[in-house]
Amino acid sequence: MNETLKNIAERYSCRDFADTPLTEGQIKDLVSAALAAPSALNIQPWHIVVVTDKALLKELDDEGIGILAAAEDKTTYERIMGRGGKLLYNAPCLIYILSDGSRYSVLDSGILCQNIVLAAQSLGLGTCIVGMAGVPLSGQRGDEFKKRLKFPGSHEFAIGVLVGTVKSGKEPHEPDVSRVTYV
């Protein structure tokens, strides 16, 4: 199996990161891979915010957990608490992918996201794609966080990617070949 297919097959959603910061070189490689993503009409409707500030990551985590705890439906909160009580799983890096809301921006942001996770896998890093990274942005402190994170006013949260050294791992999911039809 070639290296690309091996990275795809071995990647899984890591939810237990070591407290090891990413190097500048690793961050540069991930950003370069992200920006190499294709987009419809080459519009490149994204903006990337790389967050490595531990104190800010903790604030985002705490705010998100608080929002989930206060929600009427406790299903998500209970699931997160059952996985260690950390929304961002102690990851040393959160990459926010923002979208300008244009016609294909959600799809294009997904392609960029996939480039990041596959590049991270090839660098020996773990990742978790997290829609939950948007939860802290939805509460009372949302505007404050967006300002501190330097979100451009023209872009909104699309998806987040946690990146870091794996503390404890697991096996990737088993592909479900019954979901494929050949014509």
Encode pLDDT of 42-61 as tens digits: 999 999 999 999 999 999 99
CB count within 10 Å of CB 21 equals: 14
| Residue 159, in any domain of the structure | yes
pLDDT digits (tens, 9 = 90+) for 29-46: 999 999 999 999 999 999
Q: Print the domain residue range for 114.
A: 3-167
| Residue 122, in any domain of the structure | yes
**% of the chain residues with pLDDT over 70:** 100
Give the per-residue pLDDT at 26: 98
CA distances to 62, 124, 143 from 66, rounded to whole Å, are 6, 32, 16
Report the range of poorest mean pLDDT among 23-27, 119-123, 160-164, 167-171: 167-171
Give the per-residue pLDDT at 22: 98
Helix orientation angle between 24-35 and 105-122, rounded to the nearest 10 degrees: 140
> Are the C-beta atoms of 31 and 161 separated by less than 8 Å?
no
For residues 145 and 116, what is the distance between their CA atoms, to the nearest angstrom?
23
User: pTM for this one?
Assistant: 0.95
Give the per-residue pLDDT at 163: 98
| Residue 43, in any domain of the structure | yes
The label of the residue with tokens 């999911």 reads 173
CATH number at residue 109: 3.40.109.10
Give one DSSP letter per residue of 6-23, joined into a string: HHHHH--B---B-SPPPP
Number of residues written out for the chain: 183
Domain count, the chain: 1
| Residue 52, in any domain of the structure | yes
Average pLDDT of the chain?
96
Give the per-residue pLDDT at 1: 81
Indicate the SS3 state at residue 140: coil
